[in-house]
Amino acid sequence: MTAVVDSPAPAKPTPPYRAAWYLILGLVGLDYFSTLAYQPSIAFEAAGVLAPLATAFIVLLTLLGALPVYAYIAGHSPPGQGSMAIIEHVVHGWKGKFLILVLLGFAATNFVFTRTLSTADATVHIVHNPSWQPTIDSMAEAGKEAQAAYHNSFWQSIWNFWDRQLVITLLLLVLYCLFIPIFWSGFTKRFVQVAAVLVGIYLVLTLIVLLSSLFFLARHGDRFDLWLANIHSGHWEFEAPSWADVDAWSIVKVCLWLLPKMALGLSGFEMCMVVMPIVRGNTNDEPNQPAGQIRNTRKLMLTSALVMSGLLLGSALVTTLLMAPETLRAGGAAHERALAAIAHGETLTSEVSGRDLNPLFGSVFGTIYDVSTILMLCLAGASVSLGMRSLLPQFLLRFGMELQWANATGFIFLIFNAINLVITLLFKASVDAQRSAYAISVLSLMACGGFATTMHLFRSRVWWRMLLAVPFAVIFIVFLGMALGLVWHHPASVVISGLFIVTVIVSSLLSRWWRSKEFRFEGFEFDNEESRLRWDTLRFLHYSILVPHRPEGHHTLAEKEARIRQRHRLGNDVPIVFLETTADEPSEFLQKPLVSIEQHDGSYVIRVKRCASVAHVIAAIGIEFSKVGEPPEIHFGWSDESALRAMLEFLLFGEGNIPWLVHDLLKRHESDATKRPRVIVG
């Protein structure tokens, strides 16, 4: 039987706002569905006329790879923590902590680039909207006049660096920063409702564009014939690998080879995990295993995956078959805004314009579509920023790797806002320049999900679950291979992710070092009722001596007691209590040690397990003994280790520099010297 004591019951936290899963679909859609704004032109730029076929493979990977992985993760990790919680469970100690910090670095890369890339593409829709061109042109003319005001070479170089895309993107980011106080409250009821309405409007408008285009294609079968002829003749409109041929198997291999370049079509599943805590479950859900919440989160994932799969296939098909290749490539009128170009009724080919697809398409409908797209893209950045703000503290605070004031003020949140501005300047707000770094972070997190699922199933030691780990291992290898493929083609992009990872690790370790002297104690648990009774007996002793003792030492307890009484001049009437404390969980920050108390030859031995830090546990025992009777004395022996080595052993292994740290912790926790245990080193 395990008894728990000395830890006051915390106040019940206010339950978070929760909504039906179909409303939360709006939050996921801000991130997931908004990629339709730029994904069709990215798909064509990567795969040419093979874009619909390559997109079909992305859809298969979504439904047969990402969806099963994240559905499993949703059912086996605390809400909102995702695959990192499973990794923490299967990879213990500092190795697990460092792996999670690396993954948090990829998550930060993902969230930051989601925002910068989404804002940059929102600017593309602003800059290319015909109705807004006169206003933008007048602003550009004012800029030219300002440039001509000074002929200084430095001034001229600054002005030459700026263009419409960069200036408007920065203005959008600054405007977002002004609205931070509104978003600071997180995923509130109003935010969820606004997201649901906006995503609903965007989906309706997008369906009008896609269905009109598909009906046109159905009436003009020659478009399909021309597309198939281009595929069979090898006119693929992109630079295919040298080994590619025009037979079916070669086309399949080319589509698989193209998957890493189209990875942004997979980018919504991490958001499903982030919003899981606000998905409404059943009233009778268990806190540790909320079956209703898990089931509804899986409905959310399945619905978003099916909707996005249909939209991806439809958009790739209509843009590839209806639009001239030069309009979709970099510099083309429809680049990074293919569906918006159709909505505006613009010229698609020499024979077809958007108005031929639907007479509704034109300036008014196109502007409405642009406004909905711009709002989607901007709110996508807001939603992922809130997701990052809710995800990082779940791990960093618990690991002791974030300062309390930094969490209260959202310091990391503000740092990443500054990074957004820097990245936008470095990449000149280019969607093309940012997408490979974004895609690497997406694939790395998905590979992490596949790895976590595989390890969790394999370590169950149940044969059928271990067998089930095999397909998840294949999914892990596929996502890892795609990530490595992107790194091979865009090595600079992984350097960017590396900078985020280094930032997270360095700031986390500095915070852990700074917080290492906090009390870090949540109470004791007792191995059995007998140990609990002995604990109360020892606490009520009028006066006692606590002696830390290493169980692997060369002396018996009786020999050690005799030596201590002789060297410290203690009479036989002074009770000595030995402490055997082992740091077996030094990577943890907070600790709730397990205590067992035994009696040998008249001496009591307190054995403490599940310790993160020996010094903290000894200090906590001293404080507990001080609550009744006189404060005890804690007797240590001198150590021969150097001060630097002792401090490193304390930080990494929880065992170094113990006497000094115990003394320091007692001073921090008990300001009254008369009630403070005395530390004696001899």
Quick: pLDDT tens for 189-244: 888 999 999 999 999 999 999 999 999 999 988 899 999 999 988 889 888 888 88
Alpha carbon distance 602, 276 (integer Å): 55
**Could you give the percent of the chain with pLDDT greater than 90?**
27
Alpha carbon distance 415, 391 (integer Å): 15
Q: Which of 203, 188, 344 is nearest to 278 (CA)?
A: 188
pLDDT at 73: 93
pLDDT at 369: 96
- Predicted confidence (pLDDT) at residue 67 exceeds the cutoff of 90: yes
Chain-centroid distance of CA 182 in Å reads: 22
CB 193 within 8 A of CB 23: yes
pLDDT at 299: 95
CB 483 within 8 A of CB 444: yes
- Predicted confidence (pLDDT) at residue 86 exceeds the cutoff of 60: yes
Q: For the chain, which domains are there? A: 19-134+170-515 (1.20.1740.10), 524-681 (no CATH)
The residue with greater pLDDT, 547 or 390, is 547
Alpha carbon distance 342, 364 (integer Å): 12
Output the CA torsion 23→25→30→34 (10° steps).
-130
CB 354 within 8 A of CB 342: yes
Alpha carbon distance 537, 281 (integer Å): 47
Q: Which two tokens stand for residue 320?
A: 């590839």
- Helices 291-322 and 222-233: angle between axes, nearest 10 degrees: 90
CB 580 within 8 A of CB 607: yes
How many Cα atoms within 13 Å fall on the side-chain side of residue 460? Answer: 16
Q: Tens digit of pLDDT for each residue in 118-175?
A: 888 898 999 888 888 787 777 666 666 666 666 666 666 666 666 777 888 888 888 8
Give the torsion sign (CA, 283, 287, 291, 292): positive
What's the rounded mean pLDDT across residues 512-537?
85
What's the rounded mean pLDDT across residues 418-434?
74
What's the rounded mean pLDDT across residues 473-479?
95
CB 526 within 8 A of CB 3: yes
Q: Tens digit of pLDDT for each residue in 24-47?
A: 999 999 989 999 999 999 899 889
Confidence of residue 497 (pLDDT cuts 50, 70, 90): confident
- Predicted confidence (pLDDT) at residue 3 exceeds the cutoff of 50: no
* Helix (H) / strand (E) containing 566: helix 557-567
Side-by-side strand order, sheet with 594-600: 3-5, 524-526, 594-600, 603-609, 576-581, 545-548, 633-636, 678-681
> What's the burial of 15, exposed, middle or buried (CB within 10 Å: 0-12/13-18/19+)?
exposed
The residue with greater pLDDT, 377 or 575, is 377
Phi–psi pair at 347, nearest 5 degrees = -70, 125
Q: Which of 192, 234, 533 is nearest to 379 (CA)?
A: 192
Alpha carbon distance 500, 78 (integer Å): 25
pLDDT at 474: 95
CB 571 within 8 A of CB 563: no
User: Between β-strands 524-526 and 603-609, what pairing exists: parallel, antiparallel or unpaired?
Assistant: unpaired
pLDDT at 11: 47
CB 311 within 8 A of CB 210: yes
Please, what is the Cα angle at 419 between 418 and 425, to 5 degrees?
100
pTM: 0.85
pLDDT at 297: 94
Q: Which two tokens stand for residue 538?
A: 């020892």
Counting DSSP H helices and E strands in the chain, the numbers are: 29, 8
Q: What letter would DSSP give residue 241?
A: -
CB 583 within 8 A of CB 548: no
Confidence of residue 360 (pLDDT cuts 50, 70, 90): very high
- Predicted confidence (pLDDT) at residue 55 exceeds the cutoff of 70: yes
CB 533 within 8 A of CB 6: no
What's the rounded mean pLDDT across residues 654-671?
79
pLDDT averaged over every residue in the chain: 84
pLDDT at 40: 92
> What's the burial of 651, exposed, middle or buried (CB within 10 Å: 0-12/13-18/19+)?
middle
Lowest mean pLDDT among 78-92, 250-264, 424-438: 424-438
Q: Tens digit of pLDDT for each residue in 539-558?
A: 887 778 888 877 655 567 77
Q: Which residue has the tokens 């899981």?
A: 276
pLDDT at 59: 95
What's the rounded mean pLDDT across residues 649-666?
73
* Helix (H) / strand (E) containing 581: strand 576-581
Phi–psi pair at 626, nearest 5 degrees = -75, -15
Chain-centroid distance of CA 76 in Å reads: 17
- Collect all residues with Cβ–Cβ distance below 8 Å to 323 and sequence separation of at least 6: 44, 334, 338, 341, 342, 348, 349
**At 81, is the secondary structure helix, strand, or coil?**
coil
pLDDT at 552: 59
- Predicted confidence (pLDDT) at residue 1 exceeds the cutoff of 50: no
- Collect all residues with Cβ–Cβ distance below 8 Å to 502 and sequence separation of at least 6: 105
CB 424 within 8 A of CB 44: no
Q: Tens digit of pLDDT for each residue in 92-113?
A: 888 888 899 998 888 888 888 8
Phi–psi pair at 383, nearest 5 degrees = -65, -40
Alpha carbon distance 495, 493 (integer Å): 5
pLDDT at 158: 63
Output the CA torsion 449→450→456→462 (10° steps).
150
The residue with greater pLDDT, 382 or 72, is 72
CB 331 within 8 A of CB 318: no
What's the rounded mean pLDDT across residues 176-201?
81
3-state helix, strand, coil in the chain (%, to 5): 65, 5, 25
The residue with greater pLDDT, 671 or 456, is 456
Alpha carbon distance 656, 660 (integer Å): 10
**At 202, is the secondary structure helix, strand, or coil?**
helix
Lowest mean pLDDT among 284-293, 351-360, 485-494, 521-530: 485-494
Alpha carbon distance 631, 624 (integer Å): 9
User: Between β-strands 545-548 and 576-581, what pairing exists: parallel, antiparallel or unpaired?
Assistant: parallel
**Residues forming a β-bridge with 576:** 545
How many Cα atoms within 13 Å fall on the side-chain side of residue 528? Answer: 6
pLDDT at 473: 95
pLDDT at 113: 82
**At 92, is the secondary structure helix, strand, or coil?**
coil
The residue with greater pLDDT, 483 or 386, is 483
Alpha carbon distance 644, 117 (integer Å): 45
- Collect all residues with Cβ–Cβ distance below 8 Å to 55 and sequence separation of at least 6: 43, 47, 262, 265, 312, 313, 316
CB 383 within 8 A of CB 26: no
Give the torsion sign (CA, 328, 330, 334, 339): positive
Confidence of residue 61 (pLDDT cuts 50, 70, 90): very high
- Predicted confidence (pLDDT) at residue 307 exceeds the cutoff of 80: yes
- Collect all residues with Cβ–Cβ distance below 8 Å to 400 and sequence separation of at least 6: 511, 512, 515, 516, 518, 520, 589, 590
